[in-house]
Amino acid sequence: MTTIDDIRENFSLLDDWDDRYRYVIELGRTLEPMPESEHTLENKVQGCTSQVWLSRKDEQDATGEPVLRYLGDSDAHIVRGLVAILLTLYSGKPAKEILATDALAVFDEFGFREHLTPQRSNGLRAMVDRIKADATRAVEAAV
């Protein structure tokens, strides 16, 4: 399983943005397949130009804290790779950790702000907002 540190290290080895995009596309190919039945309106992320779906399965850790596990998919190769990076950051993590993790800062660290179209940046923000809202609801429900 790839970690965000693995992705960070691999990104640092790639100087050319064409190579970085190819790597992002490869990451998208590693996503766990999302069953077609999960491609629903409820799972569709609003605000993305490409079609993006995130389905969530709630779990609890040993202390009873909510843990959010995601499947994700997109009809666009690069966006599917962005989903893979997001799920590396967030899926399988406790809701409180999700709320404390700034995915946009990580994407900025990788240099995406300068290399994504405004539409893709808005879609990325919509995905992060969706996951953060899920985490907020999970924390509130656990209280």
Choose, from 48, 76, 79, 135, the residue flagged as catalytic: 48
CA distances from 29 to 34, 61, 82, 90 (A): 12, 28, 11, 18
Angle between helices 103-110 and 77-90 (to 10 degrees): 130
State the residue for tokens 């609003």: 46
36 classed as catalytic: no
Angle between helices 17-29 and 77-90 (to 10 degrees): 70
Give the number of residues written for the chain: 143
State the residue for tokens 């590396």: 88
Structure token digits, residue 79? 């966006």
CA 38, 112, 9, 133 torsion-angle sign: negative
Active site residues: 48
